Amino acid sequence: MLNLFQHPIICFNNHMKAKYHKYILNFKQPSGTSRGVLKTKETWFIILEENDKKGIGECGILRGLSADDRPDYEEKLKWTCDNIHLGLETLYSENTEFPSIQFGLEMAFKSLESNNPFKLFPSKFTKGNDAININGLIWMGDERFMKSQIQEKIESGFGCIKMKIGAIDFQTELDLLKSIRNEFSPDDIELRVDANGAFMANEALEKLKRLSELGLHSIEQPIKQGQIHEMAQLCESTPLPIALDEELIGVFNVTNKAKLIQTINPQFIILKPSFIGGWKGSQEWIDLANTNNVGWWVTSALESNVGLNAIAQWTYTLNNDMAQGLGTGSLFTNNFDSPLQVKSGTLHYENNLNWNFNI
């Protein structure tokens, strides 16, 4: 296979070699959200080498959304590799404002210490004896395109469908959801919607009332992040459970995390490790959610299969029976072949399949 990575930047210390690469993932088809249409996705890899072993970590950044979408991102990544001798704990702390680098580091060090660089959390899942329940993701587009996606997900056996809303006419979106409900009850198919902050604060409650009539499970981020008072009011009076997503981005310390949860008091929070400091940052949110009686689930953030693999294996260890948002591995034309396979609405680890991550 051709090496997909060009001109890696390599840094050394006495014991370990660290390098990083930029890689552009190409969507099979443009994917619509209320913030625009995605055609490519930039990601970065940290590769550690020590004593003939390799550790692989992915720094999954999403331009325009990630807290660490900053001009000095690559500079910080280079500094991190230059100072790899400082170790994970110190480097994690030094990258507080770069949550995707924090996660890439966690992943790379965990990978390095594992017997297999891609088996980070050995379990029934990685043995192929169990699977993770996931939602089927419906991207925005015209009515015909969205209907075709819905039909495909239902025929593929998904018991939970998540539909992105907020980009086309609201009534059209309601009609699409009604068409699902006319055929499938809430007991048959769980429906979630994700507004990505598309609703205006002064109209959100009325829209939530109309959506609630369709027996939906929840709505993600109905209004833009940062409107703490308005979101708190919504969560208090909503007839439809609200899940915070973008609201968690850029909240770096535990004190501020606790304040956010206690002020807004949402029904759910959604954890995207690449956006919130990896496993450690996510666990802080989980602990706060559990303490405050807030539900949660985990979602990937358009990482390659490398990052998705790390998120999925960790998620399995959390024993959360809700449908997780981990079905993004097939979105790209140039993703890395991996043992991760989606079957009947569940994510499996097929040990007879190999990775093609050659560097």
CB 315 within 8 A of CB 324: yes
| DSSP states along 58-97 | EE---TTTSTT--TTHHHHHHHHHHTGGG-HHHHHHHTTT
Q: Give the Cα separation of 327 and 331 in Å (integer).
A: 9
Catalytic residue among 19, 41, 162, 272: 272
The dihedral built from the CA positions of residue 139, 143, 148 and 151, taken in this order, carries a sign that is positive
State the catalytic residue, choosing from 164, 207, 224, 257. 164
Whether 257 is a known active-site residue: answer: no
The tokens 């308005």 sit on which residue?
230
Tell me, yes or no, if 164 is annotated catalytic.
yes
CA distance 241 to 218: 5
Under DSSP, is residue 188 helix (H, G, I), strand (E, B) or coil? coil
Helix 201-212 and helix 170-183, axial crossing angle in degrees, nearest 10: 20
| 3-state secondary structure at position 120 | coil
Residues whose CB falls within 8 Å of the CB of residue 116, separated by 6 or more in sequence, listed in order:
none
Q: Provide long-range contacts, Cβ within 8 A and 24+ apart, for 123-128.
A: 123/313, 123/316, 123/317, 124/316, 125/312, 125/313, 125/316, 125/349, 126/313, 126/349, 126/351, 127/349, 127/351, 128/348, 128/349, 128/350, 128/351
For residues 153 and 71, give the distance between their C-alpha atoms in angstroms, rounded to a whole number: 39
Query: Which amino acids are annotated catalytic?
Result: 164, 272
